[in-house]
Amino acid sequence: MTHDKKTFNDLKKNIVIFNAIKTLGNLKYFNFRNKNKFLNIFEKIKLVFFIFKIAILSLRNKATVIHFKLLNYWPWRILSIFNKKRIFFF
C-alpha cells in the first residue's frame, strides 16, 4: 500500500517486485487529492474500513503488510500496533 503516485507507478514498472506483491496479495494506492469534497469524504470512509479490515486480519495472523513509509504516518501508524512480526518496510 502506498499513498505516493510515483512509488505506485515505480512498483508497477518493476516486474520482479510487482509479481512478488501480486503473489502475496494486492498493491493498494490511496489518493486524497480530489477537488470534490464529497469524493474526499468517501475516500476517507473507505480508508477507515480498510484500516479496520487490515487490523482484524493482523490480529488473526492472516495479514502481512509490506509498506513503503506509509505506516510512518497517521492513521496508518495504528496498524503497526497489531502485529509487528508481519509488517515489513522497504
DSSP symbols for 7-68: HHHHHHH-HHHHHHHHHHS---B-----S-HHHHHHHHHHHHHHHHHHHHHHHTT---EEES
Q: Where are the domains of the chain?
A: 5-89
pLDDT reported for residue 16: 92
Say whether pTM exceeds 0.75: no
65 beta partners = 87
pLDDT reported for residue 32: 66
User: pLDDT tens, 3-59?
Assistant: 778 888 998 999 998 998 888 888 888 776 767 888 888 888 888 898 888 888 888
Question: How many Å apart are CA 23 and CA 64, to the nearest integer?
Answer: 12
pLDDT tops 80 at residue 90: no
Long-range contacts of 53-61 (CB under 8 A, 24+ apart): 54/79, 55/79, 55/82, 58/82, 58/83, 58/86, 59/83, 61/86
Cell of 17: 517486485
